[in-house]
Amino acid sequence: MNNRLHNKLLIITIVLFAVLFLQSVFHPISLKSLKGFYNPVERPSLTYKSLADGSYQRNFEEYQQYNFGFREWSIRLYNQYLWTCYHKTYNGWIDIGKDDWLYESDFVRDHYESMMYKWFDGDANATSDKFYKTAEDLAKLQEILAKHNTHIFVNMIPGKDMIYPEHLPENTQYFNPDGIHAYDFYKKKFDELGVNHIDFVEVFKNDKDKVDYPLFAKTGTHWTNIAATHAFDSIMRYMENLGGINMLDVEIGEKHQGKVREPDDDLEQLFNLMFPIKPNKHFYAETSIIPDENAVRPKLITVGDSFFWTISYNYNLGALFSECPYWYYNSTIYFDKNHNSTNEVNMIDELFNADFIMLNYCSVQLYKLGNGFIENALALLYDEETDSPMSDEIIEIERRIYSDPDWFSSVKEKAAQNNISIEKQIALDAKYILNQQNEN
C-alpha cells in the first residue's frame, strides 16, 4: 500500500515538474501579466569563465526567479493570502486607508506634512524661492506667447487626499511641521500675477457632495473616468473663452455603472491579487461630438503628469483638435506622429504654432510644475541680461539652428559639455551670432 502511495506521489511530482518546465520554456498557457515595473532578466550565456567564477550559477538562479512557470499565478496567490489573512501588501508606495481605500504614499505625505520635505529637503526658503521664480517666469512666458496668439494656462488638479481625506490612513510616520504646499502657494501667486489657471481643487471640493458619482475611485489614484469626462468639457469651454474662439461641443451621455476601466483601479492592479477588492462600483458616461461647421479645431500642447491619460481615454482628441501632442512630464511625446521626445522638437515653432499650451498637474506634481518646460521656453524667448523679451532677430537665428540638423546637433553637444539645457545653449549661440553680425 505504501509503495503504491509513494509511486503515485512520485508520478505526481514528476508531472508537476514537467508542467512547470514546459510552461517556463514554451509558455503554452497564456497568463495575465503582472502589473507594475520590473527589469526583465535575460537568460545568461554559459561560458567556461562564467561557470568557473560562479557568475553563471548566480545569474541563472536570478533568471529562474523571474521566469519560472506559472510565476504570475504564484505571486497573485501569495499576494491574495497576504491581503485576505493579514490585510497587508508589500507594495511600498501604496498606503491602505480606512474602509480599504487606497492612496499613493506621496499624497498621504503631502496631506500631513507637505512634499517640500521630499523635494527641497525641508528648506522652506528654498521651496518658496523656487515656487516664486516659477510663477514669475510663467507670467513672463504667458505675456510673450500671447503676442503670438498662443495661450498658456495651468490646470491644477486635486489629489485624492484633498477630496476624500476622511478615508486617509491614520498618520503614523509624518511628523514634520506642516510646510509649504505647492497648490496653496501657486493659487495665491497666480491670482496676484494674473497667470491663467483653472482651479479644479475648489471645483471638486464644491462638487463632492453634489454629484452622484465618485470624483476619485476607492482603489485608484487618478480622477475617475467620469469625473475627467465632465472636467475636460469645462476645460474646453475655458479655452474658448481664453482664445475667443468657437470650438466643437461635446455631448456627455447619461451616467451608467459598468465594468471597471483603466485607471479607476490602477492602485488595486498593482497589488496583483487573485480577486478584486469589494465593494467597489464604477460609473461612466460616453461622449459624442456635436457637428458644427463654424467651429475651429485648435492645436493643443499638453505638458503634464499622468492625469491627462484619463482625458484621452474618454475623448476623441483627434477630432476635437488639429493637433494634440502630449508632452508627458516634458519628456516623452505621445499623440504625435513626427516626434517621440521633447529633445527632437523645434521648440520655437511648437511654441508659436500652438493655439493653447496646458500645464496639466495634480497637487503632488505641482512641486515640479512644467518639469523644466517653463524655464526652457523662457530661455529662448526672454533675455535675463537685459530683462526683456528676445529680439525678433535672435528668435529667427534660434529657429534656423533648430531647422538645421547638423547645426542643432553641434549645439546639442556643446550644451552637454557646458552642462546647460539645449534651449539655453541655443539662446547663447544666437545672441553671439547676432553680436558678431552687428560688429561686422
What ranges do the domains of the chain cover?
2-71, 94-384, 390-440
Q: Is the pLDDT of residue 23 over 90?
A: no
For residues 236-242, average pLDDT = 98
Q: Is the pLDDT of residue 20 over 60?
A: no
Question: With contact defined as beta carbons under 8 Å apart, do 143 and 150 qualify?
Answer: no
Q: What is the pLDDT of residue 100?
A: 93
Q: Is the pLDDT of residue 71 over 80?
A: no
For residues 325-354, average pLDDT = 96
Query: Of 148, 166, 138, which Cα lies nearest the Cα of 361?
Result: 138
Query: Of 319, 355, 382, 375, which Cα lies nearest the Cα of 144?
Result: 382
> What residues form DSSP beta bridges with 290?
249
Question: With contact defined as beta carbons under 8 Å apart, do 156 and 187 qualify?
Answer: yes
pLDDT band at 16 (very low <50, low <70, confident <90, very high): low
Q: Is the pLDDT of residue 43 over 60?
A: yes
- Alpha-helix residue ranges (DSSP H) falling in 114-223: 116-119, 124-146, 160-163, 182-193, 200-207
Report the DSSP pairing between strands 197-199 and 151-157. parallel
Residues 6+ apart with CB under 8 A from 400: 407
Q: How far apart are CA 152 and CA 100, in angstroms?
A: 39
pLDDT band at 283 (very low <50, low <70, confident <90, very high): very high
Question: With contact defined as beta carbons under 8 Å apart, do 139 and 195 qualify?
Answer: yes
* pTM, to two decimals: 0.88
Upstream peptide bond of 279 is cis (omega within 30 degrees of 0) = yes
Q: If you count them, how many residues does the chain have? A: 440
Q: How far apart are CA 339 and CA 359, in angstroms?
A: 19
8-state DSSP, 383:
E
Which cell numbers hold the place of 400?
534656423
Question: With contact defined as beta carbons under 8 Å apart, do 299 and 353 qualify?
Answer: yes
Q: How far apart are CA 340 and CA 363, in angstroms?
A: 27
* Helix/strand/coil for 74: helix
pLDDT band at 28 (very low <50, low <70, confident <90, very high): low
Question: With contact defined as beta carbons under 8 Å apart, do 271 and 79 qualify?
Answer: yes
Q: What is the pLDDT of residue 45?
A: 77
List the single range of 91-95, 135-139, 325-329, 417-421 with lowest mean pLDDT: 91-95
pLDDT band at 216 (very low <50, low <70, confident <90, very high): very high
Q: What is the pLDDT of residue 27?
A: 67
Query: Of 151, 268, 162, 149, which Cα lies nearest the Cα of 218?
Result: 268
Q: Is the pLDDT of residue 70 over 70?
A: no
> What residues form DSSP beta bridges with 95?
103
pLDDT band at 104 (very low <50, low <70, confident <90, very high): very high
pLDDT band at 48 (very low <50, low <70, confident <90, very high): confident
Question: With contact defined as beta carbons under 8 Å apart, do 160 and 103 qualify?
Answer: yes
* Residue 373 to residues 137, 282, 303, 391, 427, Cα–Cα distance (Å): 11, 35, 8, 21, 15
For 106-128, the pLDDT digits (tens) are 999 999 999 999 999 999 999 99
In the chain, what percentage of residues exceed pLDDT 70?
Answer: 90
Buried b / exposed e along 307-336 (16+ C-beta atoms within 10 A): bbbbbbebbebeebbebbbbbbbbeebebb
Q: What is the pLDDT of residue 332?
A: 98
Query: Of 137, 136, 130, 132, which Cα lies nearest the Cα of 373?
Result: 137
Q: Is the pLDDT of residue 187 over 60?
A: yes
> 363 exposed, middle or buried (CB, 10 Å; 0-12, 13-18, 19+)?
buried
Question: With contact defined as beta carbons under 8 Å apart, do 155 and 235 qualify?
Answer: yes
Query: Of 149, 198, 161, which Cα lies nearest the Cα of 352?
Result: 149
Question: With contact defined as beta carbons under 8 Å apart, do 183 and 225 qualify?
Answer: no
Which cell numbers hold the place of 311?
482625458
Q: How far apart are CA 428 and CA 422, in angstroms?
A: 10
List the single range of 62-66, 228-232, 289-293, 412-416 with lowest mean pLDDT: 62-66
> Whose grid coordinates read 480599504?
100
Average pLDDT, the chain: 91
